[in-house]
Amino acid sequence: QVQLVETGGGLVQAGGSLRLSCVASVRTFSTYAMGWFRQAPGKEREFVAAINWDGGSTTYGDSVKGRFTISRDNAKNTVYLQMSSLKPEDTAVYYCAGRRSVLLTGTGPYDYWGQGTQVTVSS
């Protein structure tokens, strides 16, 4: 069973930055494609970003392109989401997801999900 634990959420002012981290409890992390999703109250879950096994390929949702960057450190079993120029509409619970695949998985499907971390952007 793969466990994913997100950290780094919090309260930030509009225009600010945050970096989310997701640590995976699996020995073969480098064989997993990873993604970030978010869900705001009353809204459907939204794709944010995805990265392939070695970080060589990434893709982003339209609403975050140019502001968010996904990356990974396979030696630390960690995937990151650097968020900049944050807007109030970025407020949501952010989830990390993983799937055992060397290909870029994009919007899914993913097999494993974290519990989420809250990001709140004040205006």
pLDDT tens track for 65-93: 999 999 999 999 999 999 999 999 999 99
- What integer pLDDT is reported at residue 105 of this predicted model? 87
- What integer pLDDT is reported at residue 22 of this predicted model? 98
What does the mean pLDDT of the chain come to? 96
CB-CB contact of 92 with 119 (8 Å): yes
Angle at 67 between CA 62 and CA 68, to 5 degrees: 85
- What integer pLDDT is reported at residue 104 of this predicted model? 87
pLDDT tens track for 30-45: 999 999 999 999 999 9
Structure confidence at residue 112 as a pLDDT band (50, 70, 90): very high
Cis amide leading into 41 (omega within 30): no
